[in-house]
């Protein structure tokens, strides 16, 4: 008896091989392209257009109100970099502030993350406790630390006086040489818990088998941290360093809360200096300062990423 061929088999054989591999072509509905439209509009209105306008105003002496203004070319940029002592002072303060905050906050947040990495009840409570300052507004943090730093009735000086250590009392923000570092301490207290959470997530992504193999080989805690933990949290470190850098350039409301408006020169950073320039109706010059500010953030972030890549490759 002759075998009966299946209709399905005969149909499958008649379909070209290339068509069977590709499958049916999915059609994209044109309405799907409308979904990113709100985000694109917001980006264009609040970032792209103001940036183009800033470039336009940066080469003028516009005061923000007059209908006419003169074109000064690169005069605003050369003035900011070469002749403006206030801008250079703010730049120096900002770099000091950034270096201290990035180094100390990254190291401290990683240290705390290693301590509370295990998912126990005590560690979960400590994570919440360390993270708590992050949910407080910047203005509230500024007023809290303004009380702590007060030279007359502040918490630190009163505590030192109560235990007989009056020689260690300080004027804190009143000390022009150390004011920017006391400000950095406040910033570190404010955001270390937030960066700790990023490191905890990075630590949880490390396979436990690596630590078990290292213990079998007799590696100590420092060796396990150096050869396993540190290289494996490199992506988290990059996120923390980049975010902390941006935060150190944006500590605007914290400084105004602690140092007043405008802040004195020892507490002035680039964001507050640009704000003061705008408030004084020097819009063209402030636009030039803003562009230099953006360029500096880009260069610092690029240099940090390069340094982290070289460190990762060398490790």
How does pLDDT run across 2-47, given as a tens digit for each residue? 454 544 454 455 545 555 555 555 677 778 888 889 999 999 999 8
Q: Dig out the tokens for 15 from the structure.
A: 């379909």
Is 168 part of a structural domain of the chain? yes
Indicate whether 66 and 120 sit together in one domain. Answer: no
Indicate whether 79 and 198 sit together in one domain. Answer: no
Is 304 part of a structural domain of the chain? no
CB within 8 Å of 90: residues ≥ 6 apart: 268, 269, 270, 272, 273
Indicate whether 61 and 206 sit together in one domain. Answer: no
Number of separate domains in the chain: 2
3-state secondary structure (DSSP) of residue 107: helix
In the chain, pLDDT over 90 holds for what percent of residues? 35
For position 105, what pLDDT does the model report?
95
Report the alpha-carbon distance of residue 277 to residue 135 in Å, rounded.
31
For position 10, what pLDDT does the model report?
46
Indicate whether 119 and 232 sit together in one domain. Answer: yes
3-state secondary structure (DSSP) of residue 29: coil
Residue pair 273/289 in contact by the 8 Å Cβ criterion: yes
Q: How sure is the predictor about 129, in pLDDT bands with cuts at 50, 70 and 90?
A: very high
CB within 8 Å of 146: residues ≥ 6 apart: 257, 258
Report the alpha-carbon distance of residue 306 to residue 118 in Å, rounded.
32
Domain boundary pick from 280, 295, 310: 280
Report the alpha-carbon distance of residue 275 to residue 261 in Å, rounded.
10
Is 170 part of a structural domain of the chain? yes
Is 9 part of a structural domain of the chain? no
Per-residue pLDDT tens for 80-116? Answer: 988 889 999 999 999 999 999 999 999 999 999 999 9
Report the alpha-carbon distance of residue 280 to residue 87 in Å, rounded.
14
CA 314 vs. chain centroid, Å, equals 25
Q: Dig out the tokens for 167 from the structure.
A: 């020689």
Indicate whether 137 and 158 sit together in one domain. Answer: yes
252-259 and 179-204 are packed helices; what angle lies between their axes, rounded to 10 degrees? 140
For position 87, what pLDDT does the model report?
92
Partners of 71 in beta bridges: 60
Q: What are phi and psi of 71, to 5 degrees?
A: -85, 125
3-state secondary structure (DSSP) of residue 71: strand
For position 97, what pLDDT does the model report?
94
Is 62 part of a structural domain of the chain? yes
8-state DSSP, 47? I
Indicate whether 107 and 176 sit together in one domain. Answer: yes
Report the alpha-carbon distance of residue 48 to residue 31 in Å, rounded.
25
For position 119, what pLDDT does the model report?
85
Indicate whether 107 and 254 sit together in one domain. Answer: yes
Q: Dig out the tokens for 267 from the structure.
A: 């507490």
Indicate whether 69 and 109 sit together in one domain. Answer: no
Indicate whether 116 and 225 sit together in one domain. Answer: yes
Q: Give the Cα-Cα-Cα angle 10, 14, 16 (nearest 5 degrees).
A: 145
* Average pLDDT score over the chain: 85
Q: What are phi and psi of 53, to 5 degrees?
A: -65, -35
- The mean-pLDDT minimum among 87-101, 140-154, 216-230, 300-314 falls in 300-314
Is 310 part of a structural domain of the chain? no
Give the domain CATH number at 117.
1.10.3720.10
Report the alpha-carbon distance of residue 203 to residue 116 in Å, rounded.
10
Residue pair 236/201 in contact by the 8 Å Cβ criterion: yes
For position 310, what pLDDT does the model report?
67
In the chain, pLDDT over 70 holds for what percent of residues? 90
Indicate whether 63 and 108 sit together in one domain. Answer: no
Is 164 part of a structural domain of the chain? yes
Domain boundary pick from 43, 61, 83: 83
Indicate whether 272 and 130 sit together in one domain. Answer: yes
Per-residue pLDDT tens for 165-216? Answer: 888 888 888 888 899 999 999 999 999 999 999 999 999 988 888 888 888 8
Residue pair 183/251 in contact by the 8 Å Cβ criterion: yes
Is 313 part of a structural domain of the chain? no
Domain boundary pick from 60, 83, 106: 83
Residue pair 287/57 in contact by the 8 Å Cβ criterion: yes
Q: Dig out the tokens for 129 from the structure.
A: 């406790």
3-state secondary structure (DSSP) of residue 35: coil
CA 186 vs. chain centroid, Å, equals 16
Indicate whether 175 and 55 sit together in one domain. Answer: no
Range of the domain at 67: 51-83
Report the alpha-carbon distance of residue 196 to residue 106 in Å, rounded.
8
């Amino acid at each position: 008896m002759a075998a009966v061929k299946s209709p399905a088999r005969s149909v499958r054989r008649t379909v070209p091989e290339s068509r069977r591999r590709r499958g049916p072509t999915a059609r994209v509905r044109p309405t799907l392209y409308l979904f990113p439209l709100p985000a694109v509009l917001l980006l264009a209105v609040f970032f792209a257009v103001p940036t183009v306008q800033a470039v336009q105003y940066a080469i003028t002496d516009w005061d923000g109100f007059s209908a006419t203004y003169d074109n000064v070319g690169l005069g605003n940029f050369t003035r900011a970099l070469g002749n403006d002592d206030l801008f250079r002072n703010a730049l120096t303060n900002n770099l000091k502030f950034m270096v201290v905050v990035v180094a100390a906050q990254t190291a401290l947040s990683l240290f705390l993350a290693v301590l509370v990495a295990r998912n126990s009840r005590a560690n979960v409570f400590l994570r919440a406790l360390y993270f708590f300052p992050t949910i407080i507004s910047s203005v509230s943090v500024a007023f809290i630390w303004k009380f702590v730093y007060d030279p007359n009735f502040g918490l630190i000086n009163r505590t030192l006086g109560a235990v007989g250590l009056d020689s260690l009392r300080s004027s804190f923000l009143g000390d022009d040489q150390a004011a920017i570092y006391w400000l950095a301490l406040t910033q570190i207290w404010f955001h270390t818990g937030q960066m700790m959470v990023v490191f905890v997530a990075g630590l949880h992504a490390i396979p436990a088998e690596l630590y078990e193999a290292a213990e079998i080989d007799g590696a100590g805690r420092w060796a396990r941290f150096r050869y396993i933990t540190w290289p494996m949290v490199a992506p988290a470190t990059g996120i923390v360093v980049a975010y902390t850098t941006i935060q150190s350039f944006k500590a605007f409301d914290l400084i105004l809360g602690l140092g007043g408006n405008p802040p004195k020169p020892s507490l002035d950073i680039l964001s507050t200096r640009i704000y003061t320039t705008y408030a004084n109706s020097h819009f063209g010059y402030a636009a030039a300062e803003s562009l230099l500010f953006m360029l500096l953030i880009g260069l610092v972030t690029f240099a940090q990423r390069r340094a982290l890549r070289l460190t990762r490759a060398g490790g």
